[in-house]
Amino acid sequence: MTHSGDDEPLDAEIVPPDSAPPVQAPSYEDVTGYTPAGVPTFDHVRDKIEQRTATAIGSQELSEMSAEAEALDDAMAKREEAAKKKLEELRRSMGL
């Protein structure tokens, strides 16, 4: 389906080709985290420290959670044992 107005030229502004800002590739330091001499950049060192800190905090939280879970398991086991003893005591008192 063509319209009769499709063949008409459009009135538009011509844009110069150099109007877009140039795009630069990342530097060697940005990609590797090291200078060409092999020295780590400050950003690389900071990232490693932050990563290690986050890992340590996560490990600590997990260990605390497992200690809490163990304490809860112990408490539940003691309650169940006490309930079994009480049930046995009630059965004996009833002569069952």
Residue 32 lies in a domain: no
b/e map 69-88, b = 16+ CB within 10 Å: eeeeeeeeeeeeeeeeeeee
Task: Specify the number of domains making up the chain.
Answer: 1
Q: Is 3 within a domain?
A: no
Rg (CA), the chain: 37
| Residue 71, domain extent | 40-96
Tens digits of residue pLDDT in 26-80: 888 888 999 999 999 999 999 999 999 999 999 988 888 887 888 888 999 999 9
